[in-house]
Structure 1
């Protein structure tokens, strides 16, 4: 059976001037490229050098790319890029080492089930294409039901209830125009699309020293602007990001797991759902929640300080900006985390790694 994408191509839907979907150079089928690496190119189990090595492919080999993912930024022989290609064997290579002829086609986004082709799903009628992420933005075209879409990234915009879902997410297409994700269907499930302007995912720090070097300055800036002790901020980032190893941190630069509750606030780019764990008293359970996603680590640390400042329940903690241990106890008492040992965990981390040295004031009162 033909896919929605192939049916759209056969019907000539994509040839109209109004169609913003598959622009010239977008792949209609899995294309091939040549490996140019100056030697064997490692295959990976995921889109980063931190993912397990899964073999190699010889320099000069032809490979077939099935779909793409937004991953670690790599400077290869052909280009510097955050795009990684999943090959027909299921493994990944950085697109920085692939030579395309005549140029790189646009590939569908990957999901665990395979290449997920995006198509307009309106329920029958045409869909308006906008100049921005709201229904009040200028209409700059229309798309018929079933039209394939080349999506570049997403932005958080006006809430829309469409044929597929209700969402604030809008898709920016490869020509810069917008379609609400409420009206988009994905053949292999929803891919993990990047937010527009988002820095590429990171790889975990090689050790404690590297992680602390990565977060120390943003934490100090947090104290200067918001009076949150740097030692507490760093301890929270260690505890909540697992030393930067959590997928939420690597993918969406969130070091503190601030939940959305339907709104990303004024600093985050948007919201994304992740598996998590919640506790009620001494009982903890697995669940999922929507978390804020950020442009980079600096934005995450800024939002952490802002979040504590604007929520009145944390106001008592700021009496102890120069007493990190008590500050940690106060935000825990105010409900920052559901883990019953949260404050003690922070204090243990601050002590073990002498995080108090990042504070401009005296060490915590014990």
Structure 2
């Protein structure tokens, strides 16, 4: 880290800035709540109704919440909420059905290893907190090394090299202030934090017709604005998202698997690393990559059209905006995907589900 940036982040010059020993609302111990569901409340193996049922708990029972995850939004008897609480038995319940007294505490976030406690990790000095995600934002105070943090969500901001890591992610605390995630350590590993303003994760549609109904209008809008054939867009969404079953799609609303390469661009909220598969010289292998994360599905479809338009290598494809099959072949030639059968796979999907009917010149150029 440069000396200027270090001074901007650690051991601030404003001696009058107030330090906080423990942010208000951070649960000191696993708190209990009362089930208020009007009947037995289902337990799940994960934070959505798409996760398998793992028993139930009786109405009026006391449950102990260990940590929280950002999951499917549920309309409950107590509140509408995207938060799911992992109980002491490892199962999940929708927080919308839990009655807290006097109010819901700020639970730590979950990781596969358990509740992960976030703390300031500066190496000894104090860390500045700001009103935005860069060192140019207004300084609002300082935090001592080791201070426990209550994190609400993350934003993509200035890249910082800190004691914990190098990252563009900044944490928005529950009190509205920001601290670079480069200066935060986690006791049980990094949690999957929501991006600020991001819509809750989705569950897969029940079938092909439901999926196509979900994405047809955004695909049509993509043609109107960017001239990407709607049939190709829908087929790519099917193939890339696995019919919206992939975790990348469910969690970060990414239907096309657009990689970050260091930046989320102008539409996505940020970048997140996922396991993936790449192919090279006819051989495919498992790896990881950084993918763009979106506010919602509409943003993902908008970025898809924009991405194809602003990258010169896809220019030739737009000569075939009314010829979906050739358009698919051209973006494949230009390197959109490494799978050797990518264009053929798209064409098979377009034919199997008659996706050409979503194009302005239906069927006319589908041969």
Equivalenced residues, count: 351
SS in 2 for 1:260: coil
Q: 1:160 to 1:300 in 2, by over 3 A?
A: same
Matched, 1:130 2:140: no
Q: Deviations over 1:132-188 (max 9, x none)?
A: 100111110000000000000000000000011000000000011100000000000
The structural deviation recorded for 1:281 is 2.5
Structure 2 residue aligned with 1:263: 263
Equivalent in the alignment of 2:46: 46
| Cα deviations by residue, 1:30-67 (Å, 9 ceiling, x for unpaired) | 00000000110000000000000000000000000000
Q: What residue is the counterpart of 1:222 in the other structure?
A: 222
On the 8 A contact 1:253/1:297 being kept in 2, the answer is: yes
Contact 1:20 1:173 in 2 (8 A): no
**Counterpart for residue 6 of structure 1:** none
What is residue 118 of structure 1 aligned with on the other side? 118
What is the deviation of 1:18? Answer: 2.5
Give the aligned partner of residue 186 of structure 1: 186
Alignment of 1:74-153 (within 5 A): 74-153=74-153
Are the aligned partners of 1:74 and 1:94 in contact in 2 as well (CA < 8 Å)? Answer: yes
Q: Tell me the distance in 1 between the aligned counterparts of 2:98 and 2:334.
A: 52
Partner of 1:302: 302
Unaligned runs of 5+ in 2: 1-15
Query: Counterparts of 1:201-216 in structure 2 under 5 Å?
Result: 201-216=201-216
CA deviations 1:323-342 (Å, max 9, x no partner) are: 00000000000000000000
Classify 1:20/1:361 alpha carbon distance in 2 versus 1 (closer, same or farther; 3 Å).
farther
**Taking structure 2 as the reference length, what is the TM-score of the superposition?**
0.94
Normalising by the residue count of structure 1, what TM-score does the alignment of the two structures yield? 0.95
Change in Cα spacing, 1:22 to 1:349, as seen in structure 2 (3 Å) is farther
Seen in structure 2, the aligned counterparts of structure 1 residues 335 and 20 have a Cα distance that, compared at 3 Å, is farther
Q: 2-side partners of 1:67 and 1:53: how far apart?
A: 19
SS of residue paired to 1:137? coil
Matched position secondary structure for 2:295:
coil
Partner SS, residue 326 of structure 1: helix
Distance in 2, Cα, partners of 1:18 & 1:44: 42
- Alignment check: 8 A CA contact 1:156 1:168 kept: yes
Please provide the CA RMSD for this pair: 1.1
1:174 matched to which residue of 2?
174
Aligned to 1:251: 251
Distance of 1:21 and 1:279 partners within structure 2: 50
Provide, for residues 302-359 of structure 1, a one-character-per-residue CA deviation record: whole Å limited to 9, x for no partner. 0000000000000000000000000000000000000000000000000000000111
Task: Report the alpha carbon displacement of residue 282 of structure 1 after superposing the two structures with TM.
Answer: 1.7
- Per-residue CA deviation, residues 85-108 of structure 1 (Å, 9 max, x unaligned), is 000000000000000000000000
5+ long unaligned stretches in structure 1 = 1-15
CA contact (8 A) 2:356 2:366 kept: no
SS in 1 for 2:298: helix
Q: Secondary structure in 2 aligned to 1:265?
A: coil
